Chains A and B, each alone.
Chain A
């Protein structure tokens, strides 16, 4: 028998999904912005004659 009798107890999951999507999008955006800011800072220090580290 399928355990569907208590499926009603898990309906709250559907109400959490929109919240997770919005919070996920915000976090993704925040991380992307932080990364872009870091890259920008890195580029400007390089362009200004900053120390260039050699990568192996």
Chain B
């Protein structure tokens, strides 16, 4: 994936005010929202999902076994196509179906749409489908359900957080072959997908399909996290509509959940900063390594890995400072409880960062996905399955200024929602709204910091 296209970042033309002034305006919006929340919001609103079941027939049809089998089969088929294209197709990253499908359509598409409609990945999860089919076959042959080991609860969602960082590492660190470009090979991605499939299916066999999907399977946990913001869910064989964002409030109760959402923000931040805000320090450290005799590729990967982990540490530190600040308010629960209790407020921020950094890239690359990549998945130039192989990407679809305004809007809206969720949770811990408000000064600082940091990264990357 070649970076200039990867981020679809173009120079802005003529903004009416300097870019940094947008950060000031965004901060003012957050401060005003904060005081509005303090004045008008005195009872928790999101602790209850307010479920309203959808029609019985619709639920029965969408959750029926044939529908589940069909969705699972689609997921397995598409994963198979991506792996096959990676192994047998062209090594040109932008002409191979595998990269755009995995790194754009799935990696960005599921979070964007799940945040609106609920967890869309679950029915299409290829590993879950294979695991369930294998479990069903085993039960039929052996006459009993397969036995599983008890999942170590202390591990929580940490395996998913590590898996998430590993996926991003493959994309933005392993695939980077020079200081100016990223050219990840489709073959390497296909092999990584196969290795991950074997690992996931083995873990499902050991701990059970649903347990592993809920705790350890990186993509289920990651996409499911954004799905908690959405308005549809399923429970006890019934689909229901719920209050937006309300399902997120109990998501972070499992250990390691905060690490997942922090990893998401850090991964996006690092990807955005790698060739912008962090470019000079990365170059300095890279030169320091190579001057001491380290091979170029090893030096680059080591440098990027250090910066990626440092970004994770910095994002975690900002959040922890906010939590530490809340502890100083009389009547505060324990640090651990606060750290867990407010982790879900970072989910809208993770989404805002994703939208801000990749929205234009998604719009552009999906034209390729449903154009020439669909008709010629291997990129060999010999097939034209749907007659769209000559379709090109229209980069004029979005102007540079339009992209910037969407980025600013995404960051502001995401942080205001984060602030709202934090205020709501504070009212649970401090029933006295004055104390709840006092505790949220610190989360306001966290939100302002993330907003300004996000806008700074974008302004530097946009040039």
Interface residue ranges, A against B (CB under 8 Å): 11-12, 14-19, 21-23, 25-26, 29-30, 33
Contact = CB atoms under 8 A, between A and B. Distances in A.
A15 B442 contact: no
A26 B404 CA distance: 31
B444 A15 contact: no
A19 B459 contact: no
Nearest to A18: B27
Given A18-B452, A22-B31, A11 B459 contact: yes
Contacts of B444: 22, 26
A12 B396 CA distance: 30
A11 B20 contact: yes
Contact of A15 (B31, B325, B328, B455): B455
A22 B453 contact: no
Contacts of B459: 11, 15
B307 interface: no
The contact size tier of chain B is 20 to 34
A26 B439 CA distance: 10
Contacts of B456: 11-12, 15
B444 to A, nearest CB: 6
B344 to A, nearest CB: 22
A26 B442 CA distance: 7
B267 to A, nearest CB: 21
Contact of A29 (B23, B31, B441): B441
Main DSSP-derived SS at the A contact region: helix
A15 B20 contact: yes
B23 A18 contact: yes
B445 to A, nearest CB: 5
Contact of B445 (A11, A12, A16, A22): A22
A33 to B, nearest CB: 8
Contacts of B31: 22
B206 interface: no
A19 B31 CA distance: 11
A19 B441 contact: no
Interface of B: 18, 20-21, 23-24, 27, 31, 277, 325, 328, 438, 441-442, 444-445, 448-449, 452-453, 455-456, 459-460
Contacts, number: 46
B452 A26 contact: no
Contact of B20 (A14, A22, A23, A26): A14
A16 to B, nearest CB: 7
Given A14-B23, A15-B23, A15-B455, A22 B325 contact: no
A27 B362 CA distance: 41
Contacts of B24: 14, 17-18
A31 B453 CA distance: 27
Given A15-B20, A17-B24, A18-B23, A26 B445 contact: yes
A21 B448 CA distance: 10
- Pairs A-B, 6 closest by C-beta atoms: A14-B20, A18-B27, A15-B456, A15-B452, A26-B441, A22-B448
A35 to B, nearest CB: 14
B453 A15 contact: yes
Given A15-B452, A15-B453, A18-B448, A26 B23 contact: no
A18 B454 CA distance: 13
A4 B236 CA distance: 65
A17 B452 CA distance: 9
A10 B373 CA distance: 42
24 contacts: A11-B456, A11-B460, A12-B277, A14-B18, A14-B23, A14-B24, A15-B20, A15-B452, A15-B453, A15-B455, A15-B456, A15-B459, A17-B24, A18-B23, A18-B24, A18-B27, A18-B448, A19-B27, A19-B445, A22-B444, A22-B445, A26-B325, A26-B441, A26-B445
